[in-house]
Structure 1
Amino acid sequence: MKRKLAFLWNCIRRDRKHLCHLLLIGICDIGLALLIVGITKHLIDVASGNSVGVLWKQITLLLACMLLSVLLRGLFSRYTVWLHNELRNRLIEHFFTLLLRARWLDMKKFHSGDIMSRMEQDTDGVVNLLVVSFPQFVLTFLKLCGALVYLYIMDGRLAVVLALLVPVVLLLSKLYFKKMRSFSRLLKKQWSEVCQFFQEIVQNREVMKALMAEPACDCKLSHLQVGFTHTVNLQNRFAFYSNLVVMLGFVVGYLITFSWGLYRLENGTLTFGALMAFLQLVTMIQGPSLGLAQLVPGIIVSYTAIERLKELEDLQMETPCRFSLFKGVESIEFRNVSFRYRDGKALLNELNWSFERGKMYALTGRTGCGKTTILRLLLGFINPDAGSIHINGNGRQTNIDAGTRINFAYVPQDYALLSGSIRDNLNWGKPQVTDEELIDVLEQAGAGFVFGLPEGLDTRLNERGEGLSGGQMQRLAIARALLAPGEVLLLDEFTSALDSDTERMIIALLKKQVEHRIIIIVSHKRAVMDACDCVYQL
């Protein structure tokens, strides 16, 4: 619990002042509500002859208080919306930055659909807790206390009787909390499964259509939704009966107050104005009590959201390193490097390899032997279990880590193009790039087809580069890598989507670049291996 509270305190650290302002507005409104009860009592007593006063002055004062209350509530609502948006944006930015800087192996534990669910729904849950539920809890508690104190001044015995009902409500809320928390956890898990399945099917829709698997997809989604709906129905049924018990308690409280007021009115110990004040105060007591009970589901959802976001918050970050850019990388050396993934067999065992400037290298071997793992080690995504990897240049030697990643330009097997223009995608390699540089690098990568497109560099691409052929997307990915500052070029099956003519052209272009680079290629193709100066077999 302490860790969760510390997490919330940290989330709100830049907005604590604004939260205090929000609470201050709410407290002023509570004060006005109690003042309105007093004015209404006095106004009725003046009208019925039980008190002395000027009627029009009391009506004017009542109207002024009501108008001010309306103004405060409007201000409270507007301030809440503004603070909600500010805090939500800040939390999303925080977790976005955190996820980008988390260790690669730790991130592999989470499905991308589950991460999106946490980023969208759970951040909303935490923001609602801090900006909506917490202020409402504080203000309803203060309103409850204020109404009980006012009622105690008017009739101590009635106030004590009603006050005894509050612990009963809180006890029921505690039991309710435990049960609803288990429902909330299950619902979050089931909804994440729906999001994961939906995302995977949409991303692989061509494969599903080719397999004629649409009916099976419909069936699977329906099955997931049926499970989610069943849990929602169980939760609603439990909430219905729980709220019914609480409401019956409030009805009993109102009847006690009304009966006691009529008894005192009949005996002449209570004025009609005081009776109306009684009923108003009871409403002010029951309203906050019901409000506290109704806040419980939202708090439970938020509590579960905190637990899920805390799992992301607890991700291990990459060790902070200063970027170490080598102008003139001479070589990269593997010295007795061994590596295995968690709970897996050893992939690499005491590798002793060397990569030198001005040469092209091919990494080949059976599927799953560790070729892509070599690239991850070079990029500093993972660290060797034993041995070391050094990058040499500028008369110095440095261990490979996140800080040396800037020396590498990477072309993944799946291209990794984003929605946006071709220019936007190339700018990821070098943000401040000129059109002349773009034209030059596109020619180097054999991507001159861009100049034949109607909008050229400003041609819009869909998600994952859809709108271009596989070969065109691959060449754009190579062009983006050539723009990056790193002199070591890593290509993972980069010719997989290229025809033989384009493959030969790209290899020839890379050979022209190799004088000032180290080029490492993962490939099974004989043409690629024949073009390389050295082939490492895994």
Structure 2
Amino acid sequence: MTNTNADRPSYGAEHAASVNLAVGKRARARSIRPLQDLAPYLWRHRLDLIGAGVFLLLAAAASLAVPLAFRGVIDHGFVAGDQGAVDRAFLGLGVVALLMAVFSAGRFYFVSKIGERIVANLRADVYDHLLSLSPGYFTRVSTGEVLSRLTVDAAMVENLVGSTASIATRATITLIGASVMLAITNLQLAGLLILIIPAMLGPILLFGRRVRTLAGAAQDRIADASSTASESIDAIDTVQAFGREDDMRVRFRTAVEKAFEAARRRIGARAQLTAGAISVMFLGVALVLWLGARSVLAGEMTPGALAQFVLFAILAASNGAMLSEVWGDVLKASGATERLTQILAETPDIAAPASPIALPDPGRGSIEFDRVCFTYPGAGERSALRDFSLRVQPGETVALVGPSGAGKSTVFRLLLRFYDAEAGRLLLDGVEARTADPRDWRTRFSYVSQDAHLFSGTAGDNIALGRPNANAAALEDAARRAEAWAFLEPRGGLSAPVGDRGKALSGGERQRLALARALARDAPVLLLDEATSALDAQNERYVQAALAEARKGRTTLVIAHRLATVLEADRIVVMDAGRVVEEGDHGALIARGGLYARLAAMQFMDSSPDLAR
């Protein structure tokens, strides 16, 4: 009657490992088609989108007006020697600068607001949908991977909508506008510049690709350091118990040094990129200036026209380079969007039928398994339940016992509609499971797991999880009946903090608080999964007293391995290989000398010699 739970990595380790794979290593999409899935989110905020577009166009127009203003300063002021013209030209330049500042601020506000709003909505939608998915989904996709999609991938989408898309659009508009103005200013020099620009952009693209590669490597090393820190902090008790603090310090410092070295290489490549970009840019500008100066001396163009041409050339080249830089971010964001929408495209394995049958109200707690067969996804032909039949009367307490893998936990998972049977029928108060709404079905059950999962916050918050609309008096009553008020009252009662995942409480206290949550729910069926398996004798007495209170007036199924729980059951159902092989009370099953007697002899012989009789 032992139960072996498969070891699972801790949350910190699992999440750190997923981020280690995610940060800086998110594969790019091959196209931007997945970004179409963001259209509904953009449409919800179309007024903000229109505002952003208007300010974006105005900001681009203002930036294109700067070279025109400079031309006026030179041609109508400096060359003509007219001080009034100089004053008016600089006044016009100042007005343009102020307008560009206002328009840029408006663009930044609307674009950033849209980015934050869309990602908030997308994250909320993905999380809402995750809560509707069946546990089978999380056997295929790790929790850490899901969390990394909600963090890393969502951050990429936010960067795209709130920054990259604006930069790309503004750069495109400015590049087109500057190119048109170049052709208008001097068609011959514009044609020459078209031949020069690829040579100017080549080194920038080459170094830019190397910088992106090294940036990815630097992020990987940072993720390694984060993973090392997360794993050691999450298992701090184990680290200190085995005296491995120095080893962990060395591991973390090594990871930090590798991260620094990767960052240093990235900084070096970025410095080379800066030097190369500036050199190539100014060499190209110098060439255009030289040719333009000759045109000015020949009287073919004015000095202001030359200055205007140079400024438009710089705008065109810099915005062209900007577009090439952000394209990689656009593709990464496209891949991130695809991964998030993949979650939204998942359909729950357990869903309500088109016309669900309502369960009787009030519920009686009658349960029937009728020749149920079930196999976990990916388990091949190994069945968890085979022709499993069991009837539980309202108010009856039934203990499920058997060796590991007998199917006891599977019974609970089917009752809670985490999965549906492949064959046979499961009925609750005469209603077949597949015909009922899963959420309505689950309201008829209170569940206490072996791990007693608690959430950060207060004791009252955790008890209220079972009954959100309960008042403080009802929550306190549940805590008292669960033998939890004795340790809660000195700490502030319902306001007592439980710490992260209940770490501020002992194992017995967590179990009693989980029982209080079940009592507050006041459902007709109570499911107890190894509720006392990890407790010492004193805490077990407290919990057993709470269990006796919890069983009053409701049907109870308990996965029982401890003697006290087995003996208090109205009926013991012995399972093996997914079937019921024996059932009866303790004395009758011992006298039969079957599987139960052998299990009892192995587990209980030392504690109670009378058990073998």
TM-score (norm 2): 0.77
What is the CA–CA distance in structure 1 between the aligned matches of 2:555 and 2:199, rounded to whole Å? Answer: 74
Matched, 1:260 2:296: no
Of 429, 433, 436 in structure 2, the residue corresponding to residue 392 of structure 1 is 429
C-alpha displacement of 1:164? 4.3
- Where does residue 348 of structure 1 map in the other structure? 385
Counterpart residue identity of residue 521, structure 1: V
- Where does residue 438 of structure 2 map in the other structure? 402
C-alpha displacement of 1:127? 0.9
C-alpha displacement of 1:192? 6.7
- Where does residue 302 of structure 1 map in the other structure? 333
Deviates more, 1:124-133 or 1:380-389: 380-389
C-alpha displacement of 1:489? 1.1
Of 493, 518, 522 in structure 1, the residue corresponding to residue 555 of structure 2 is 518
Structure 1 counterpart SS, 2:526? strand
Residues 486 and 190 of structure 1, relative CA distance in 2, 3 Å threshold: farther
Counterpart residue identity of residue 32, structure 1: A
The equivalences for 1:18-37 within 5 A come to: 18-37=48-67
What is the CA–CA distance in structure 2 between the aligned matches of 1:190 and 1:383, rounded to whole Å? Answer: 44
What is the CA–CA distance in structure 1 between the aligned matches of 2:209 and 2:343, rounded to whole Å? Answer: 24
What is the CA–CA distance in structure 1 between the aligned matches of 2:405 and 2:238, rounded to whole Å? Answer: 23
Structure 2 counterpart SS, 1:353? strand
C-alpha displacement of 1:177? 9.5
Of 366, 371, 379 in structure 2, the residue corresponding to residue 336 of structure 1 is 371
Of 557, 561, 565 in structure 2, the residue corresponding to residue 528 of structure 1 is 565
Deviates more, 1:116-125 or 1:73-82: 73-82
TM-score (norm 1): 0.87
Matched, 1:108 2:139: yes
What is the CA–CA distance in structure 2 between the aligned matches of 1:357 and 1:180, rounded to whole Å? Answer: 69
Counterpart residue identity of residue 89, structure 1: A
Is contact 1:425-1:480 (8 Å) kept? yes
The equivalences for 1:390-469 within 5 A come to: 390-393=427-430, 396-399=431-434, 402-403=438-439, 404-450=441-487, 452-469=489-506
Deviations 1:118-156 (A, max 9, x none): 322221111111121111111101101101111101111
Is contact 1:117-1:195 (8 Å) kept? no
Of 148, 159, 164 in structure 2, the residue corresponding to residue 133 of structure 1 is 164
Deviates more, 1:375-384 or 1:170-179: 170-179
Is contact 1:409-1:490 (8 Å) kept? yes
Structure 2 counterpart SS, 1:346? coil
Is contact 1:359-1:517 (8 Å) kept? yes
Q: Alignment length, in residue pairs?
A: 536
What is the CA–CA distance in structure 2 between the aligned matches of 1:105 and 1:414, rounded to whole Å? Answer: 20
Unmatched 5+ stretches in structure 2? 1-30, 576-613
Counterpart residue identity of residue 298, structure 2: N
The equivalences for 1:63-462 within 5 A come to: 63-164=94-195, 198-215=229-246, 217-218=248-249, 249-321=280-352, 326=360, 327-344=362-379, 345-393=382-430, 396-399=431-434, 402-403=438-439, 404-450=441-487, 452-462=489-499
What is the CA–CA distance in structure 2 between the aligned matches of 1:366 and 1:222, rounded to whole Å? Answer: 46
Is contact 2:113-2:162 (8 Å) kept? no
What is the CA–CA distance in structure 1 between the aligned matches of 2:226 and 2:555, rounded to whole Å? Answer: 42
Is contact 1:324-1:406 (8 Å) kept? no
Deviates more, 1:289-298 or 1:213-222: 213-222
- Where does residue 69 of structure 2 map in the other structure? 39
Is contact 1:102-1:317 (8 Å) kept? yes
What is the CA–CA distance in structure 2 between the aligned matches of 1:510 and 1:417, rounded to whole Å? Answer: 18
- Where does residue 17 of structure 1 map in the other structure? 47
Structure 1 counterpart SS, 2:557? strand
Deviates more, 1:425-434 or 1:325-334: 325-334
C-alpha displacement of 1:356? 2.0
What is the CA–CA distance in structure 1 between the aligned matches of 2:132 and 2:257, rounded to whole Å? Answer: 37
Deviations 1:258-310 (A, max 9, x none): 12211101212121111211121111112211221332453354344334434
Residues 87 and 248 of structure 1, relative CA distance in 2, 3 Å threshold: same
What is the CA–CA distance in structure 2 between the aligned matches of 1:323 and 1:209, rounded to whole Å? Answer: 55
Is contact 2:519-2:550 (8 Å) kept? no
What is the CA–CA distance in structure 1 between the aligned matches of 2:266 and 2:406, rounded to whole Å? Answer: 49
What is the CA–CA distance in structure 2 between the aligned matches of 1:63 and 1:482, rounded to whole Å? Answer: 72
Residues 244 and 389 of structure 1, relative CA distance in 2, 3 Å threshold: farther
Residues 496 and 113 of structure 1, relative CA distance in 2, 3 Å threshold: same
What is the CA–CA distance in structure 1 between the aligned matches of 2:303 and 2:252, rounded to whole Å? Answer: 62
Deviations 1:64-93 (A, max 9, x none): 222111222222233333333323322222
Residues 428 and 513 of structure 1, relative CA distance in 2, 3 Å threshold: closer
Residues 116 and 237 of structure 1, relative CA distance in 2, 3 Å threshold: farther
C-alpha displacement of 1:414? 1.5
- Where does residue 479 of structure 1 map in the other structure? 516
Deviations 1:491-512 (A, max 9, x none): 1111124444553454455445
Residues 311 and 472 of structure 1, relative CA distance in 2, 3 Å threshold: same
C-alpha displacement of 1:478? 0.5
Is contact 2:482-2:550 (8 Å) kept? no
Structure 1 counterpart SS, 2:377? coil
Residues 335 and 200 of structure 1, relative CA distance in 2, 3 Å threshold: farther
What is the CA–CA distance in structure 1 between the aligned matches of 2:94 and 2:217, rounded to whole Å? Answer: 50
Identity %: 25
Residues 320 and 341 of structure 1, relative CA distance in 2, 3 Å threshold: closer
What is the CA–CA distance in structure 2 between the aligned matches of 1:134 and 1:167, rounded to whole Å? Answer: 24
Unmatched 5+ stretches in structure 1? none
What is the CA–CA distance in structure 2 between the aligned matches of 1:201 and 1:445, rounded to whole Å? Answer: 35
Is contact 1:118-1:309 (8 Å) kept? yes
C-alpha displacement of 1:481? 1.2
Counterpart residue identity of residue 172, structure 2: F
Counterpart residue identity of residue 402, structure 1: P
Structure 2 counterpart SS, 1:29? helix
What is the CA–CA distance in structure 1 between the aligned matches of 2:511 and 2:487, rounded to whole Å? Answer: 13
Is contact 2:401-2:561 (8 Å) kept? yes
Is contact 2:35-2:334 (8 Å) kept? no
Counterpart residue identity of residue 65, structure 2: L
